[in-house]
Chains A and B, each alone.
Chain A
Amino acid sequence: MPVKAKPASRAGKVAKKTMTPATKNNTLKLKFDTSWTYAPAPESKSAAIINKQYDLFIDGKWQKPLSKTFIDTINPATEEKLSEVAVANEADVNKAVVAARNAYEKVWKKIPAKERAKYIFRIARMVQEKARELSIIETLDGGKPIRESRDFDVPTAANHFFYYAGWADKLEYAFPNRKTAPLGVVGQIAPWNFPLLMAAWKIAPALATGNTVVFKPSKTTPLTALKLAEIIEEADLPPGVVNILSGVGSTGDAIVRHPDVNKIAFTGSTEVGKMIQRAIAGTEKKLTLELGGKAANIIFEDAPIDQAVEGVINGIFFNQGHVCCAGSRLYVQESIAKTVIRKLKDRLESLIVGDPLDKNTDIGAINSRQQLETILEYIEIGKKEGAEMYQSSCNLPKKGFFCKPTLFTNVAQSNRIAQEEIFGPVLAILTFRTDDEVIEKANNTPYGLSAGVWTDKGSKVFNMTKRLRAGVVWANTFNKFDPTSPFGGYKESGFGREGGLHGLLPYLSLKG
C-alpha cells in the first residue's frame, strides 16, 4: 500500500462527506478487506520430524503390526500424504493387552505412588520441551490453526500431565476415609479433534491412579499420539505401562471386546458410544463416554454484547467447530437480535481462513473429506429448511478441505440444523423472548454437554446456569478448559467426568 506524505484533510469537508442520512443506515457496511493486508507468516515445517512409517508401540518397543497393514495419514490442508501408520488388528490388540497386564501385575501396581508421579512429571516436561514440534505436527495432521495447537492444545496437554502427576501420591486425600485401588488395564479410544490433548486427558489420570493403558488414536490424526509414544519411550516408562496402537474402527472394537480390559474410556460420536455400551453390556468393564453435543449459547439483552459476540465466535469457530462442546445453537433475545447478527457478520469477515500453518490463520482445514461432506450436506439441509445462510466472503484455498464460516438466521427449533450435531463451522441462530422460553428450548435436545449464558446480571447467571441441563455451563465466556475442572455430559452426551479430582474416579475403585 502506498503511504505518501498525506496531510490530514480539512475538517468541515470531511464531516459533510461522511454524514449519511440516518434512514440509509441499514446499507452501511464496514470494509474489512483492507489494503493493509497480512503477509504470509507460515510456521516452518523443518522443526518437525515425521517418520515415513510408524509401527505399533507395544511393551515399550516399536513392533511391526501382525496385521501387516498400514494406512496413510494425510494433511487435510493439502491432501498430501504425511506418513503411514500401522493398523492394529485383534492379535495386535491382544499383544498390547497382555503387555499392559504384565506391566500392571509385575511393576506398575507395586511401585510407590511417588514413582508413578515422577514418570508423569517427566512426560509433562518433555511435552513442554517438544511443544513446537508437537504443535506443528498437530496442525499438519489435523488441519487446525497453528495458533491453536501452539497456544491451546499442546500447553493444555502438558498441563494435564502436570496436574495428574500431582495427584498420584495424594489419592487418599482426594477421597478421604476411603481406600483407593486401580482398576487394572484400561482401553482408551480418542477422537480426531484434539488428538494430543485427548491422549493427555486419558493417559494422565489412568497412570496417576495406577492403571496401565492401551490407547488408540483416531484414524485420521494418529501422529501426535505416536510422538507421545516416542516421548514415553524416552521417558523410560516401564515397558507395557502405556501401549499406543494406531488403527481403524475395528482396532477400537477389539480393545472394547477384549476380555482382559477392565475399563473403557471413549471420546467420540454418540453413535459409536452406543455401540460400545451394547458391546460391553453384561461384562464387568467400567465405562466412561464423552460424546456429542449441540450446546446452547444464550445471549440476554442485558449482556455485554461485543464480548458476547466474540464468545459466540470462539464458541463455534474454535477448531473449525470440531468441538463436542461447541456453542452451535445461538439463542439471542429478540430485542437485540438484529444488532448481534450484524456484529456476528462483521466479525465473520475478519476471520482469516486458510493455511493452518500460517500464524495468522483463525480457521484452518476441515479434518477429513468425509467430515467436509457431512458439513456441506448440513448446509444444504439448512438452506432447504428455509433458514437464511450467511457466509464470510473469504476465498478458500483451491486444495485441501475447507469450509467457509457459516451462519444461519431465521432458524426454527424444529430444523435439523438446530437439532443435530454438525461438528463444523456452522452456527444456527434462534431467537427467544423470555427466560423460561429459552431454558425450555436450550434443554430441548438429546444432548447435554455444555451451554453458555451471557448477561451482565450476576443473579441471572446463577438462576439460568442451574436450570440448564448440561455438564459444563459457562457464564460470560465459552470454551474454557483447565485440568482442574471436570468435563463431561448429561443425557446422550455421555457419562463420567474427565479432568479435576472427578476425573480420577473413573479409574479407581473405592473401598472401605
Chain B
Amino acid sequence: MSSFENLAAGLCLAIVSSIVAVGCSSDSSPYVDPRSVVGPEEVPETKRIRRLTADQFFASLYVATGQQWDDEEQFAATLGRPDFAEVTAEGREMSVGFAKLAGDAARQTCRRAVQQDRGIADPESRVILRKINDVDQLDPFDPNVDENLRYLALRFLGVYAIDDEDRRLQPWRTILHDGLTDVDDARLSEGEDRWIAVCTGLALHPDFLTY
C-alpha cells in the first residue's frame, strides 16, 4: 500500500470516527427562562393593548384621586417620557421600573386622597369616600361599602356595576373585610389603610394602566 493510500485511509478513518462521535454527542438542552410566560407580540401594532404613557399615567392618577404625585418630574424619563432629542418614542413597557414607580405613585396619591376625604363633611366633595356615611369612624363594614365600591369601579376603571354581587367588586370587598368582622374593634383602626389599599389596587389595575 502506497503512502498516499495510507494517508487517505487514515483521513477517512478520522472523518468517519468524527462523524460517528458527532452523532453520538448530545447538546445540552436550551435554557428556558421560567419567567417567559408571555410569548412574542403577535397582535398588529394598531390593535395592541397599550400601556399609558408617563404623562397619561400622571394625568389619569390626578383625575382619579385628585392628587398629584410628588415625584412625577424626577421619574418621568424612567417611566418612558421621551426627551425628543435622543428618545422620540414613548416608553410603554410594563417593566419592573414602571410597576415599582406606579405602585409608589398610587400609594402616595391614594393615601392623600383618603386622608383628605376624611376631613370633608360634604360627601359630594369627597373623591374616594363619596358614598360612605361616617368618615370619622371609617368602618370597612359601613352599610354603603358596596355602593362606594361601585362608584370607585366606575371612577377608576369605567366599569358600571349595577349589582352589588358583581364579581368584579369582590377583590376590593375582600381587601376591606378579610380577617375582620363587623363587631371587631380592630376594624375601625384598619379602615383607613384598607380604603387606601382599595384605591391603590384600582390605580394599579390593568384596565387603569392600559387602553
Are these two chains actual partners, yes or no? no
